Amino acid sequence: MKRSKKTKFDKLVDEHLEIALKEIGPIKPWYNKEVQAWVFEHELYPESYGGDTKQEVIKRHPLYIRGFIEHRLKGTLAPWVEKMTKGRGGKRPGAGRPVGTKKTDTQVIRLPSDIAMWLKADPLHLEQVRTLLGR
């Protein structure tokens, strides 16, 4: 009997499928009266499956997700299938630094670790260094 070996692509799809199933969590189908079938879908993956029984949906939904992942990795998905977003959708109210406040100027320097620990230990030490430097 001849055994087929998995290709690198199949292994990659298996890895992505494992990640997807962890993201989805347990598959808990619900009954949809409109289509008169047990259905499961998840917002992270636009692939849904409907079947006659809960067990069928639980068993077959990963196969549909696998097909979706294969198409995604090959780049053969239609543009409207996966939602494309850029950033966070613009400025959010209350985000960022409050108006009128200024950030103190900083500069990166490298110090021996014992001196750095001494400066971190007490803020008074930092003021002593500023006094020494004349700032």
Write out pLDDT tens, residues 15-46.
988 988 898 888 888 898 888 889 988 888 77
Kindly tell me if the per-residue pLDDT of 90 is higher than 70. Answer: no
The model's pLDDT over 51-75, given as tens digits with 9 standing for 90+, comes to 888 889 889 888 888 888 888 888 8
pLDDT at 97 over 80: no
Read off the tokens for 74: 């090959």
CA distances from 75 to 27, 57, 58, 79, 90 (A): 26, 27, 27, 10, 28
d(CA 62, CA 27) in angstroms, rounded, equals 9
Using a cut of 0.85, tell me whether the model's pTM lies above it.
no
Average pLDDT over residues 81-95: 64
How confident is residue 82, by pLDDT bands cut at 50, 70 and 90?
low
